[in-house]
Amino acid sequence: MNRLSRFAAVGLIALMVGAQAADTPPEPPMHGKHPHRADGALGHGPLQMLNRHKAELKLSAAQEKQWLAAEAASQAASQARRDAHAKLRESLAAEREKEVLDLAKIDQLIEQQREQAQAQQRAAHEQWLAVYASLSQEQKRLASQHIKQGMARMDKRMARKHRHHDGPPPGAPMH
């Protein structure tokens, strides 16, 4: 994509985000819980799927401490992302008030917000990997079973979603 097309796309995004910010009431605080999880597990990573099975893992005191640090890092990354997004919406709204948009500034704001969010999410991800590395072979086997079951449930949900949006797969019998 050439630079002019990118700036036009960024400008369009900025206008849409700004319009959304003006029309959307502020989101209620989530208290570190993922909004789509009934069990309140944090984030999206495989180990985070294990929150409801944590007791079965029988974590040692040291492992529990690492788990809590990883949860805290995930919560902090989520909160920082929400805060940065709110700040970005405010900045974009201010840019919209100008007679002539500064697309380079808008692009820079969006890119900075994305990079900061990725860095914080990566740090939380590293902590979850450290938790997994600390597990015994038996704990890893148990964790793997539950993660695989969670992935299978996700696959089923995605298949239902695609069937709903895309219709039946090619060659499927018509009912």
Residue 109 near residue 83 (C-beta atoms within 8 A): no
pTM above 0.75?
no
CB–CB of 135/143 below 8 Å?
Answer: yes
List the structure tokens of 73: 């890092």
Average of per-residue pLDDT across 86-98: 89
Q: What pLDDT sits at residue 171?
A: 63
**Angle at 138 (CA atoms; ends 132, 140), nearest 5 degrees:** 25
Identify the pLDDT of residue 134: 95
What is the per-residue pLDDT across 140-161, written as a single tens digit (0 to 9) for each?
Answer: 999 989 888 888 888 898 888 8
Residue 24 CA to residue 54 CA, distance in Å, equals 37
Could you tell me what percent of the chain has a pLDDT over 70?
Answer: 66
pLDDT at 35: 40
pLDDT band of 175, cuts 50, 70, 90: low
- Residue 169 Cα distances to 43, 153, 159, 165, angstroms: 31, 19, 10, 11
Give the pair of three-digit tokens for residue 159: 């298949």
How far apart CA 84 and CA 89 sit, in angstroms, is 9
Per residue in 55-70, pLDDT tens?
899 999 999 999 999 9
pLDDT tens per residue across span 20-69: 444 433 444 444 444 434 333 345 567 667 788 888 999 999 999 999 99
Query: Residue 147's pLDDT is what?
Result: 87
List CB contacts of 75: < 8 A, sequence separation 6 or more. Answer: 32, 42
Q: How many CB atoms are closer than 10 A to CB 131?
A: 24
Residue 48 has a pLDDT of 66
Contact 62, 102 (CB under 8 A): no
Which long-range contacts (C-beta less than 8 Å, at least 24 apart) are formed by 133-140? Answer: 134/62, 134/63, 134/66, 135/57, 135/63, 139/57, 139/58, 139/59
CB–CB of 41/142 below 8 Å? no
